[in-house]
């Protein structure tokens, strides 16, 4: 048997929401293993900081600002990728938003539209663009960062949870449609991770204690603990893995 290969040399990888948190850890990890990373979020300045970190570790990265809820910006992003690289091997749909914390009965149309635009419409049209490009070079790998909330909705996070459930369904639907084009599509479902996104929980000792009590490993995760699964999913090691959901939650869903 050949040694399992996690090497990503010569691969072009696009990571959305790469300016901090889980997306930053994923981008650094993919670059550590040889991928050229295209770092995407709305704010180029923050992405430049991550690009510098990657460069200081000997990796390759470039910055492309894009609001993933805006289809015109997604089309512009892919036009640039085609022009500069002519290929895309890896897409990580990681950016998401959760603008509303409260009962669904009080959520207005603006909350619905913003959450669905960034968390579902964005990944859908990113996959559409990516698949068309990946097809021209023989395939690729896509990872959608969903959440344990997509399986078990969290209180006061109903709208967000619905989008994350939709992302799991989107993963399965695209996995079946794109398998013949040698494009694998998988979902990652993190539990509680210390990031800006989870600040409301991390900064409130009482809420953090309640959240941690529901996690058998009895703690939250750091972003780097999420990135290893993505490395597996985009590498040759996962050549028979598609349409699957990978839970990394310290046992919370068990």
Nearer Cβ to ligand NAP, position 8 or 167? 167
Q: Is 153 in the site for ligand NAP (CB under 6 A)?
A: no
Structure tokens at 164: 């994350």
Q: Could you tell me the smallest distance in angstroms from the CB atom of residue 180 to ligand NAP?
A: 28
DSSP 26-58: HHHHHHHTTPEEEEESS-HHHHHHHHHHHHHTT
DSSP 91-143: EEE--------B-GGG--HHHHHHHHIIIIIHHHHHHHHHHHHHHHTT-EEEE
Nearer Cβ to ligand NAP, position 133 or 168? 168
Q: Which residue is nearest to ligand NAP (CB)?
A: 21
Q: Could you tell me the smallest distance in angstroms from the CB atom of residue 206 to ligand NAP?
A: 17
CB 5, CB 237: distance < 8 Å: yes
User: What residues numbered 34-53 form the site for ligand NAP, per CB under 6 A?
Assistant: 41-43, 46
Q: Is 85 in the site for ligand NAP (CB under 6 A)?
A: no
Q: Is 197 in the site for ligand NAP (CB under 6 A)?
A: yes
Q: Could you tell me the smallest distance in angstroms from the CB atom of residue 32 to ligand NAP?
A: 18
Taking residue 199's Cβ as centre, other Cβ atoms within 10 Å add up to: 10
232 noted as active-site residue: no
Q: How far is CA 53 from the centre of its chain?
A: 19
According to CB under 6 A, which one of 29, 97, 171, 242 is a site residue for ligand NAP?
97
CB 171, CB 187: distance < 8 Å: yes
Q: Is 94 in the site for ligand NAP (CB under 6 A)?
A: yes
Q: Is 184 in the site for ligand NAP (CB under 6 A)?
A: no
List all residues 6 or more positions away from 140 whose beta carbon is below 8 Å from its beta carbon: 88, 89, 90, 91, 130, 131, 134, 182, 183, 184
Nearer Cβ to ligand NAP, position 65 or 179? 65
Q: Is 129 in the site for ligand NAP (CB under 6 A)?
A: no
Q: Is 16 in the site for ligand NAP (CB under 6 A)?
A: yes
Which CA distances in Å does 112 have to 28, 108, 125, 159, 180?
32, 7, 18, 7, 34
Q: Could you tell me the smallest distance in angstroms from the CB atom of residue 6 to ligand NAP?
A: 22
Q: Is 125 in the site for ligand NAP (CB under 6 A)?
A: no
User: What residues numbered 104-123 form the site for ligand NAP, per CB under 6 A?
Assistant: 118
Q: Is 198 in the site for ligand NAP (CB under 6 A)?
A: yes
Nearer Cβ to ligand NAP, position 27 or 35? 27
Structure tokens at 30: 């993919």
CA-based angle 223:227:233, to the nearest 5?
A: 155
* Residues that bind ligand NAP in the complex, under the rule CB under 6 A: 16-23, 41-43, 46, 67-69, 94-97, 118, 145, 147, 190, 192-193, 195-198
Active-site residues, by number, are 160
């Amino acid at each position: 048997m050949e040694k399992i290969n996690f090497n990503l040399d010569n691969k072009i990888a696009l990571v959305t929401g790469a300016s901090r948190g889980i997306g930053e850890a994923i981008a650094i990890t993919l670059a550590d293993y040889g991928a050229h990373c295209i770092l995407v979020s709305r704010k180029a300045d923050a992405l430049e900081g991550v690009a510098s970190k990657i460069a200081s570790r000997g990796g390759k990265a470039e910055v492309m600002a894009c609001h993933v809820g805006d289809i015109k910006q997604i089309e512009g992003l892919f036009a640039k990728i085609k022009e500069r690289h002519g290929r895309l091997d890896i897409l990580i749909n990681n950016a998401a938003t959760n603008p509303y914390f409260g009962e669904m009965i009080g959520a207005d149309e603006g909350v619905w539209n913003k959450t669905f635009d960034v968390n579902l419409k964005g990944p859908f049209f990113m996959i559409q663009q990516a698949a068309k490009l990946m097809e021209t070079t023989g395939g690729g790998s896509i990872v959608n960062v969903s959440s344990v909330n997509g399986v078990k909705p969290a209180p006061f996070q109903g709208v967000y949870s619905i989008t994350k459930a939709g992302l799991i369904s989107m993963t399965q639907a695209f996995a079946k449609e794109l398998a013949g084009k040698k494009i694998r599509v998988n979902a990652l479902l993190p539990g509680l991770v210390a990031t800006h996104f989870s600040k409301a929980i991390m900064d409130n000792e009482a809420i953090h204690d309640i959240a941690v009590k529901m996690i058998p490993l009895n703690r939250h995760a750091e972003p780097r603990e999420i990135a290893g699964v993505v490395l597996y999913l985009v590498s040759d090691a996962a050549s028979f893995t598609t349409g699957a959901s990978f839970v990394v939650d310290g046992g919370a869903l068990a």
